[in-house]
Structure 1
Amino acid sequence: MAALPNQEFIASLNTSAIDLADAETLPPACYTDAGFYEFEKEALFFHEWLCVGRESWVAASGDYFTTRIVGEPIVVARGRDGKINAMSSVCAHRAMLVAEGAGNTRMFLCPYHHWAYGLDGKLVGAPAMEKTCNFQKEDHGLATFKVELWQGFIFVNFDHQAAPLAPRLAAVTEAIAGYDLASAEGEKPGEPGVFAWNWKVMFENNNDGYHASKLHQGPLHDFVPSELSVFPDADPADAGFLRYNGTLHPDASFNATQKALMPVFPGLDETARSRMTFANIPPTLSLVMMSDMVIYLILRPTGPETMEQDTGVLVAPGASKHPSFAYRMAMNMTAASHIIDQDMHVDGLVQVGLRSRFAPRGRYSWQEGAQIQFNRWLVTRYRETWDRLNGGARPVVRAA
């Protein structure tokens, strides 16, 4: 078989982005092929806005955390001026990582040769470089990235020519305004989950209304029936899309009582409290939104068939101060964990199936409307990138 992607393969993607009633799933190679994964990095991850964490993770000057997406080590830090900076953590000298983990610091000191960088990535110290010809410190800082804040989430973009994020999220922002996520509370997640499947398998599962009443059948999920799925229209040029799922009673939540146990987000209207909202900002952020709790997933591919994920929870302002908060949260997470375990088991088996020579390009149910929105978002970028790399004008990204 010819190396992927090629012109024939790109053309074959069109049938995954047509009307839902006629569409078929993406080719299995989109989830397994190493060559396609490399193409996908250029098509998506090197030019789209990538969620890396929450603004609260760098609350004070000097706070920083590190992360990694498609193999690129990133450090995010709040400067003395209060500005949040994002940069490569790869030293400009010999490629040693200058930061690991998270903490608070005055500067980033490369442990290998003690090159020192400010919280904005600028090189401020380079020992014993005085005999090096034409060496100027201002030419050797860390590669920096664009930063934008949205709803309290930090997004970065490796492409300094990228258009702003917020205008392309107007519909999503309006739909979830009642949650006021910028003011929501939540602890920084612990160690990321490490999974043996393609990132799109996870993203699709989280957006799939079809499986809710099948895989999750039982008292912990029956109050969110698949037949109440709604898929608002979305433009593939937008940066995100939505899925709503009506509930059988207001303020439904994942726990044995089926009702919200914690304070409801105060800005939610009656309509929002009678459904669950799934907000998606591919390729890295997916939100599961209930009246009293928001679960967020930050997806970070590590290879064509592997990924890591930061999973966090947000609650209404002040909710965590309630005396019984920890117990109520434990009830929610016990139920959510049971549902998540079912999803994880399926995701792993789907990836096994995608490797099979008999893996199909299947057909969709009307309850999979979010999948076609995702496909259109993907295929639009795949086609644009293929055209660009084969005669278009826009250059491959080079970080500053």
Structure 2
Amino acid sequence: MPEDHTPDALRELAENVAQPFERAHAMPPSVYTSEAFMQAEIERIFAREWYCVGRADALKEPGDYITAKLAGQPVVVIRDRAGDVRALSNVCLHRMSTMLEGRGHARVLSCPYHGWTYNLDGTLRGAPAMSLNAGFCKEAYKLPQVRCEEWLGWVFITLNPDAGPVAAQLAELGEMVAGYDMTNYTETFYEEHVWNTNWKVLAENFMESYHLPVCHAGTIGGLSKLDEMVCPPGRAAFNYHTILKDDSLRIAMAHPSNDRLEGDMRRMTYLIAVYPGLMITLTPGYFWYLSLHPVTPGQVHIRFGGGMSDDYKGDPDAQQNFADLKTLLDEVNVEDRGCTEKVYAGLSSGLASPGHLSHLERPNYDFAQYLHAKLDA
């Protein structure tokens, strides 16, 4: 195993990305296995970039919330009384306990340790047994705000006050998929998982469909036509590739009422990787996504959700079709977990050596370029 030392891994990554795509190899094992390299990713990427916590439609009513731990900072994203989505520190200002967990609904933010409560805007609502402390002033307490933005129905947070707006970074992507009208997709399931692999292994697995015929031989592999996959060069903030699907899965096609998409776009699936960790499968009829955050070099936290385009919400069979699709997605996830955990086991071995990339792995090459640019800055 490579020495657990960030400069060594950065040097090996620099040598890797110096090659043109036509001669490129997969990234070296050190960038996956090094604890110090992962800490650099936390500090220079996850603490500075935008991180997606899920969909805005999951926060329908005031008090609906999502929690996250971003680069070590507990955050709660909540819809406030005014109807706005905001992000707050999820740490009580008294003895610093975390407060809310998971996703749910809360009338107030309540600390489970001493019962201090906060309004949905973060102001202190109540603090038991504090009246005898002459220095205590309730109005002086307010949970720190965390930057929060919405883009096409997605909710992003960042700890970086200087990060550029999400919409500006993803403007070109928004134009590409405008006919899908992503704002009007409704999330119908959400889960969280931890897999025993490096976060980049899972990200790269999503970024290429080269593995579909083999890794997914038991499910969708037979439907995957390698010669119809298109992998353009990536952009600064994202990469993508596309696949054409046939009408055997009707809800993957544009609904008859959709007059926004024409030609092949009516059956085109976009597989989008928004750096660093949001992976979106977008079809004209449904979507699903993964939002990734490293836990350890060998563990990744996954937010997994999905749903349907509102174009289909009036169709009597649409929900059953999507339920059947969710069953398929669960089976695909089992296959992906097996493949990506095997990759991590292999690259952690002493004889691991990265091979040349296929032309169908162009997004992986662009991802390596992104990582190097952020970590070498």
Residues 75 and 87 in structure 2, CA contact (< 8 A), matched pair in contact too: yes
Q: Is contact 1:198–1:307 with CA below 8 Å preserved after alignment?
A: yes
Q: Decide whether the 8 Å contact of 1:16 with 1:376 is kept in 2.
A: no
Aligned partner (choices 280, 285, 308) of residue 273 of structure 2 = 280
Alignment partner, residue 197 of structure 2: 197
AA aligned to 1:279 is I
Structure 2 CA distance for partners of 1:295 and 1:55, relative to 1, 3 Å: same
Query: For 1:367-382, what aligned pairs fall within 5 Å after superposition?
Result: 367-382=360-375
Give the number of equivalent residue pairs: 372
What secondary structure does 2:355 align onto?
Answer: coil
One-letter identity of the residue aligned with 1:376: Q
Q: Structure 1 residue 260 and structure 2 residue 236: aligned? A: no
User: Residues 92 and 372 (structure 1 numbering): CA distance in 2 closer, same or farther, change over 3 Å?
Assistant: same
Code of the aligned partner of 1:322 = D
Alignment of structure 1 residues 19-38 onto 2, 5 Å:
19-38=20-39
In structure 2, the residue matched to 1:301 is 294
After superposition, give the CA deviation of every residue in 1:275-296 in whole Å (9 maximum; x if it has no partner).
Answer: 3211111223111122322111
User: Is the aligned partner of 1:354 residue 2:347?
Assistant: yes
Give how far 1:144 is off.
Answer: 1.9
Report the more deviating stretch, 133-142 or 340-349: 133-142
Deviates more, 1:72-81 or 1:51-60: 72-81
Task: Give the CA deviation at 1:117.
Answer: 1.6
Q: Secondary structure at the match of 2:78?
A: strand
Q: For each residue in 1:12-59, what CA deviation from the matched residue of structure 2 results, as whole angstroms up to 9, or x when unmatched?
A: 212332421222222212222222111110111100000001111111
Other-structure match for 1:329? 322
1:45-84 superposed matches below 5 A: 45-84=46-85
Q: 2:263 aligns with which of 255, 270, 273?
A: 270
Rounded Cα–Cα distance in structure 1 between residues aligned with 2:112 and 2:324: 44
Q: Which runs of 5+ in 1 are unaligned?
A: 385-400
Provide the C-alpha distance between the structure 2 equivalents of 1:276 and 1:10, rounded to a whole number of angstroms.
34
**Matched letter for residue 210 of structure 2:** Y
Matched, 1:316 2:305: no
C-alpha contact 1:252 1:291 (8 A) present in aligned 2: no
Deviation at 1:372, TM superposition (A): 0.8
Contact 2:290 2:303 in 1 (8 A): yes
1:333-358 C-alpha deviation (Å, 9 max, x unpaired): 34333333222211110111121111
CA distance in 1, matches of 2:295, 2:218: 34
Q: Specify whether residues 218 and 105 from structure 1 end up closer, same or farther in structure 2 by C-alpha distance, changes over 3 A only.
A: closer
Match of 1:149 in 2: 150
Structure 1 length as normaliser, TM-score?
0.85
Tell me which amino acid in the other structure corresponds to 1:60.
E
Check whether the contact 2:9–2:34 (CA below 8 A) recurs between aligned residues: no
Q: In structure 2, the residue corresponding to 1:147 is in which secondary structure?
A: strand
In the TM superposition, what whole-angstrom CA distance separates every residue of 1:68-88 from its partner, at most 9, and x where no partner exists?
A: 344432211111111111122
User: For residues 140 and 162 of structure 2, what CA distance do their matches in structure 1 show?
Assistant: 20
The amino acid of 1:214's aligned partner reads: V
SS in 1 for 2:69: strand
CA–CA distance in 2 between the matches of 1:262 and 1:289? 9
Q: Is the 8 A contact 2:10 2:31 kept in 1?
A: no
Q: Is the Cα–Cα contact under 8 Å of residues 69 and 302 in structure 1 kept in the other structure?
A: no
Q: Does 1:106 align with 2:107?
A: yes
Per-residue deviation, 1:202: 0.9
Indicate conservation of the 8 Å contact 1:263/1:319, yes or no. no
User: Structure 1 residues 33, 3: CA separation in 2 closer, same or farther (over 3 Å shift)?
Assistant: closer
Q: Are the aligned partners of 2:234 and 2:363 in contact in 1 as well (CA < 8 Å)? A: no
Residue type of the alignment partner of 2:206: N
Identity among equivalent pairs (%): 29
Superposed CA RMSD in Å reads 2.4
Code of the aligned partner of 1:67: A
The code of the aligned residue for 2:76 comes to V
- Is the contact made by 1:287 and 1:297 (CA closer than 8 Å) also made in structure 2? yes
TM-superposed CA distance for 1:217, in Å, is 4.2
Which position in structure 1 is the counterpart of 2:163? 162
**Contact 2:115/2:127 (<8 A) preserved:** yes
> Aligned pair in 2 of structure 1 residues 336, 80: CA closer, same or farther (>3 Å)?
closer
- 1:203-242 alignment to 2 at 5 Å? 203-217=203-217, 220-235=220-235, 238-242=236-240
1:339 equivalenced with 2:332 (yes/no): yes
Distance 1:19 1:127, change over 3 A: same
TM-score relative to the length of structure 2: 0.90
What's the counterpart of residue 14 of structure 1?
14
* Residue 137 (structure 1) shift: 4.3
**Counterparts of 2:313 and 2:170, CA distance in 1:** 29
Deviation at 1:164, TM superposition (A): 1.0
Compared CA separation, residues 26 and 137, structure 1 to 2 (3 A): farther
* Aligned-partner residue type, residue 216 of structure 1: H
Deviation at 1:327, TM superposition (A): 2.8
Mapped partners of 1:219, 1:312: distance in 2: 19
